[in-house]
Structure 1
């Protein structure tokens, strides 16, 4: 799949990535959810509600990972779920899915930049700086630096992600060992902190907590955006994605355990005026300076890895839509030297900055979750049609997910539950976002579709669909 260079020369994205880079992309985007954001679920329903939401969201994302691994190991092209929808369902669904991806990753990038700015202000106060620190220059610096890194090449970008993501994950393991009593000196007080507050809002609190339970795993589906840049898509994508979801299930459970065992649930659940970075706050209460520095760097690295991966994924989705003329073809350009979708990278920077500088953290998280959730709702339909049109014997797949259609039905059911949970707390935002996608769908149908490159709608070397 080729894009266009500045002078009409055809250049394509480089196939230079391996399974470890795919793991770093998926886990790197998500791991910040263990460091911040998930604790809003505690505020919605209490600590136990957050744990139940964590595990049910884990089931949802395991289904996402299995379905994505099968389809993407076959549809090895930039754009991920957008390209899947283009081949399997049709142009209107593809356009919407592409927008879901771009908004989910761009909002997540903005949330990460906000968190990075907060961390710099905390470090300044710990270093003795008394005056309130303006976080905005740090937010701008983070987004601009990572956009520059993505501009310069995908191998360096995701190798950087691999290093800092591994560090952030190891930091969680070290904090668990140091505070749980396994390595001595345990400080967990679950019984005392939970007494009388097991489920402060009852079972409805569990449902409400599902909204932010997604934050533990939001973005693992981003591994599909690397499909056109991995050396062996059929091997690297399923391996990296499934290893990633297993890593996140472990990290999410350990995160809940250490944070809820040290921090009071009222403080833990207030992610704005209380605990913005729960793992870092847990380290501060441990009394260990080494843990404070370790988790401080872990939190910073997790936010950088996530923002870095989000820029990578949002730009690939935008680039793929531009290449197929779903958006102006100008966005479908590939840099002749660095072989990156540089125009898409640059174009999305000011959008991320607007949300990072002008919107509250919980609202930014909600918009990211809603866009992601709309994308997950499309996946069950996608895999059912894929299996029906191209049965297992008709196309060689790099991975075949088991127990079909159970994962698809489970995913659709959990998406429905989560939509209701979001409606309970953010009904206005949910209705507004669905209204926005309806309006842009009408714009695409009545205006933009006439410019679409219809010859690029089906580019896979597959046989005709069954029954056609």
Structure 2
């Protein structure tokens, strides 16, 4: 059955079924922040292991600049190409081969982030239970299967749930921050004792560069807001508002998280714990805060995994719809109006990785795919502005200071690749080799199935120079 997406969302048109346009800016915020907020509960702190507590703060703000550039660039292009997210952007601006790779970047980034979330949730429950012989496997499986079922049943319900649990997890960080008297160093917090001139940068500036690898975790996934473009009621308005509001939310959460955790834990421990905020709750001596941060860690992991399933499935669905993969994947459920076959196909893949990878490996694979995508975005926006200058087509949002954000984004991506190479060089080489080989497969085999005349769907004039 051939599935098509229409600008509106009629229930059925013969054998054509479309996704529903039911989401608003709050849902976009919930999708973006929900995917990312787990990075405040674990992951970012591994940057302290690479370079010390001060390095973790430096990369918090420098990587924040990277993601602000991502959010601005993404908001402009997506509010104009308001369907399919970064995949559709690559298809219209660069071409099919780039679009195929970008969709794979998205699928791997979100699937491995989903795996990381499930591992974190399982490990957190096991650590809280303290029962000898209890393993995390059953909790991992239950998390992935239940969330896949939720996504199968409908996007509105999925993101309504994400909004609620993301808000609770975020509020817990705010409560922790104000509960430790942050304005009075020495009462509860000991930042001046834990971060001294002698240990602030234990490995020097090379440690700061190495810390970029996990500093990405503060914000990884905010670009996922665009994957819901085909289900948003007003993409030109909702996507920029939801994405930029999400970025501001995350910058505030990242700063509060670092300040509290670095003021309660020595960098040597902060850099290795899987539960920095939960541990911070324990160190306050308040059972209420300890239990609040335990529950919030679980909710943040659930919200992130929930959003990742949503985004990965829609990227895979888009590949099937355009015949980059078999069209079987492009089916939309006739009742729930979700890309159910893509959701079900990715389910066992996520389970397999969750059982064979550890948390550090899963995080690294997700970061690698994400940074490859960000590198593309820096090139993509320059091509977009060159082919369709301001005034030639209608834009829902125009990001300022072009091309400075694109240049900053590209340079920071290069630094991050070097940081990843320092810690996980073999994984970086293996991942790049994989994408190279799969590109050859697409070019020499799969591309012949693509309907070339159906690729460009936007009502734009011919690009300049063509």
Which TM-score applies when normalising by structure 2?
A: 0.96
Q: What's the CA shift string for 1:78-130, capped at 9, x where partnerless?
A: 3x1111000000011111101000000000000000001012112312xxxx4
Alignment partners' CA distance in 1, 2:259 and 2:88: 39
Match of 2:132 in 1: 131
Q: Say what the alpha-carbon RMSD is for the aligned residues.
A: 1.7
In structure 1, the residue matched to 2:406 is 408
Equivalence map 1:291-370=2 (5 Å): 291-370=289-368
- Deviation of residue 465 (structure 1)? 1.1
- The whole-number CA distance in structure 1 between the counterparts of 2:95 and 2:206 is 38
Aligned equivalent of 1:210, options 193, 209, 212 = 212
Deviation at 1:132, TM superposition (A): 2.9
Contact 2:185 2:191 in 1 (8 A): no
Aligned-partner Cα distance in 1 for 2:106–2:279: 32
Aligned-partner Cα distance in 1 for 2:442–2:14: 27
CA shift for structure 1 position 185: 9.0
Secondary structure at the residue paired with 1:227?
helix
Q: Which residue of 1 aligns with 2:41?
A: 35
Q: Which runs of 5+ in 1 are unaligned?
A: none
- Note the C-alpha offset of 1:360: 1.1
Cα offset for 1:387?
0.8
Query: What's 1:76 paired with?
Result: 82
SS in 2 for 1:73: helix
* Distance in 1 separating the partners of 2:63 and 2:38: 16
User: Is 1:44 matched with 2:72?
Assistant: no
Asked if 1:92 corresponds to 2:97, the answer is yes
For the 8 Å contact 1:3–1:333, the answer to whether it is kept is no
Structure 1 equivalent of residue 122 of structure 2: 117
Counterparts of 2:14 and 2:414, CA distance in 1:
46
Counterpart contact for 1:259–1:279, Cα < 8 Å: yes
Q: Take 1:45 and 1:170, find their aligned partners in 2: how far apart are those partners?
A: 29
Q: Which one of the candidate residues 229, 233, 236 is aligned to 1:234?
A: 236
Per-residue deviation, 1:455: 2.6
1:375-423 CA-to-partner distances (Å, cap 9, x unmatched) read 0000111111111111110111110000000000110011011111111
Partner SS for 2:460: coil
Deviation at 1:3, TM superposition (A): 5.8
Match of 2:278 in 1: 280
The 1-side partners of 2:187 and 2:241 are apart by 36
Give deviations 1:274-321, integer Å, cap 9, x for gaps.
x11100000011111111121111111100000000000000000001
Q: 2: distance between equivalents of 1:423 and 1:75?
A: 34
Contact between 1:105 and 1:310, CA under 8 Å: does it hold in 2?
Answer: yes
CA distance in 2, matches of 1:171, 1:434: 39
Q: Gaps spanning 5+ residues in structure 2: where?
A: none
State the SS of the aligned residue for 2:17: strand
Question: Structure 1 residue 21: deviation in Å?
Answer: 0.2
Deviation at 1:7, TM superposition (A): 12
Deviation at 1:182, TM superposition (A): 4.5
Work out the CA distance in 1 between the residues paired with 2:187 and 2:250: 24
Q: 2: distance between equivalents of 1:371 and 1:184? A: 40
State the 1:467 CA deviation: 2.4
- For residues 246-284 of structure 1, give each alpha carbon's deviation from its aligned partner in whole angstroms, at most 9, with x where no partner exists: 1011111111110111011111101xxxx1110000001
Q: Which residue of 2 aligns with 1:180?
A: 181
Distance in 2 of aligned mates of 1:186 and 1:452: 65
Q: CA deviation at 1:186?
A: 3.8
Count of residue pairs brought into register by the alignment: 459
| C-alpha distance 186-14 of structure 1, shift in aligned 2 (>3 A) | farther
Distance 1:182 1:260 in 2: 15
Tell me the alpha carbon deviations over residues 110-153 of structure 1, each in whole angstroms, 9 at most, x when there is no partner: 0000001012112312xxxx423121000000000000000000
| Higher deviation after alignment, 278-287 or 187-196 | 187-196
Q: Distance in 2 between matches of 1:397 and 1:213?
A: 32
Give matches, 1:424-443, under 5 Å.
424-443=422-441
**8 A Cα contact 1:180 1:258, kept in partner:** no
> Counterpart of 1:58?
64
Native 8 Å contact 1:76 1:228 kept in 2: yes
Cross-structure match for 1:148: 149
Q: Distance in 2 between matches of 1:331 and 1:8?
A: 19
Does residue 446 (structure 1) correspond to residue 451 (structure 2)? The answer is no
Contact persistence 1:81–1:98 (CA under 8 A): yes
Q: Is residue 222–residue 246 contact of structure 2 (8 Å, CA) maintained in 1?
A: yes
Q: Deviations over 1:397-452 (max 9, x none)?
A: 11000000000011001101111111111111111100000000000000000011
SS of 2:202 mapped into structure 1: coil
d(CA) in 1 for partners of 2:168, 2:333: 31
In the alignment, is residue 249 of structure 1 matched against residue 251 of structure 2? yes
* CA-CA distance at 1:181 after TM superposition: 4.0
